[in-house]
Amino acid sequence: MALLCFQSLRMLRSGIRCMSQNAQLVSLTVNDKTGVATLSLQRPPVNSLNLELLTEISSALTEATDNNSRGLILTSTNDGVFSAGLDILEMYKPNLDRVKEFWTKLQETWIKLYQTAYPTVAVINGHSPAGGCLLALSCEHRIMVKNFTIGLNETRLGIVAPPWFIASMVNVIGQRQSERALTLGHMFTTEEAKNVGLIDEIVQNKAEGTTQAEAFIQKFAKIPFQARSLTKTWLRNKTVESLVKNREDDLNMFLQVVTQPNAQESLGHYIQSLKNKATK
Ligand SMILES: CC/C=C\C/C=C\CCC/C=C/CC(=O)SCCNC(=O)CCNC(=O)[C@H](O)C(C)(C)COP(=O)(O)OP(=O)(O)OC[C@H]1O[C@@H](n2cnc3c(N)ncnc32)[C@H](O)[C@@H]1OP(=O)(O)O
């Protein structure tokens, strides 16, 4: 409690205000001087995206809009893992009602993040496989700390990246590079990611990443907000519409693929291999 008060006091002095008071799995703060919001994922141990975390991310994105944020930095409180992607336990031997809600929330969160009116920057301060990579790809600018990995590795797990995951990557690195990376399930090192254009900047640490992210958002200070946001909407509309118009089909396809016995078997082996690794 004392620590909380001390932290709040320190944040107030530096002009940082806490939003989303009820959130537990994310923290949303805003810098009152710049209007830039920071959304930090904080679901230990690895920010895997389960229904509850997705719900909080989605609410925080709305809150940043309602608060007229000038920009948003997406990052992790865990220096080591940005996000481990979708929580595999949501997809393994799933409860039908819950897994439907989970996938629907994932769709909603991606649509919101992909279309925010404000500029978005991912400060990728750790590994970022699969769904973690999708979050980063949905931002407008990606800054990554050295010595980590990022990519859409679904095929390695025996599952398939849905069309909108694929489109998010194609829009950033193009068809040829995406085809090679996705079919192999390749995880790029920070250096490789920069070379292929998957990320825009390499930094030494999160603090440097945050400074660079603020500088990126600051570039838009003199660009009329609505002109910028409408341009972004039109640039991204085709990609988003392909999911918006087919959400039900996408959900059914996901359910069909993920409940296949061979997909369940692959997920089971994968969970076990992660557990074995963790106990070594
Ligand atoms: C229209 C539709 C069409 C088709 C759809 C079909 C199929 C569905 C497609 C679904 C798409 C899915 C995308 C995904 O995001 S799948 C998830 C992919 N994620 C990964 O492969 C990452 C796995 N994790 C790791 O590689 C490492 O954990 C990581 C590098 C992130 C961190 O390493 P670190 O050494 O720091 O931690 P670990 O010791 O490995 O892990 C700690 C504990 O966390 C558990 N863990 C890790 N990742 C996950 C995860 N993604 N979900 C759930 N749990 C995870 C791990 O097991 C450890 O647990 P404990 O042993 O401590 O209990």
Cis peptide before 119 (omega within 30 of 0): no
Q: Give the residue-averaged pLDDT of 80-91.
A: 98
Confidence of residue 11 (pLDDT cuts 50, 70, 90): low
- Six-digit token string for 14: 């530096």
- Six-digit token string for 225: 């907000």
> 178-208: per-residue pLDDT in tens?
999 999 999 999 999 999 999 999 999 999 9
**10 Å Cβ neighbour count for 137?**
25
Classified as helix, coil or strand, 243 is helix
**CA neighbor of 278 nearest in space, from 48, 51, 24, 40:** 48
| Selected residue with higher pLDDT from 213 and 19 | 213
> 128-184: per-residue pLDDT in tens?
999 999 999 999 999 999 999 999 999 998 899 999 999 999 999 999 999 999 999
**10 Å Cβ neighbour count for 82?**
29
**pTM summary value:** 0.95
Cα(271) to centroid of ligand 1, in Å?
Answer: 8
Has 86 been annotated as catalytic?
Answer: yes
Of the chain, the end-to-end C-alpha distance in Å amounts to 36
- Six-digit token string for 110: 């991606």
Q: What are the extents of the domains in the chain?
A: 7-279
The CATH classification number of 7-279 equals 3.90.226.10
Catalytic residue among 25, 54, 72, 86: 86
Predicted local distance difference test score (pLDDT) of residue 80: 97
In the chain, the amino acid numbered 141 is: H
- Six-digit token string for 20: 């989303």
Has 153 been annotated as catalytic?
Answer: yes
Q: Which atom of ligand 1 is nearest to the CA of 83?
A: 31
> 261-270: per-residue pLDDT in tens?
999 999 999 9
- CA distance readout (Å), 204 to 75, 145, 151: 15, 5, 20
ipTM (interface pTM): 0.97
**Residue 129 backbone dihedrals phi, psi, to 5 degrees:** -80, 155
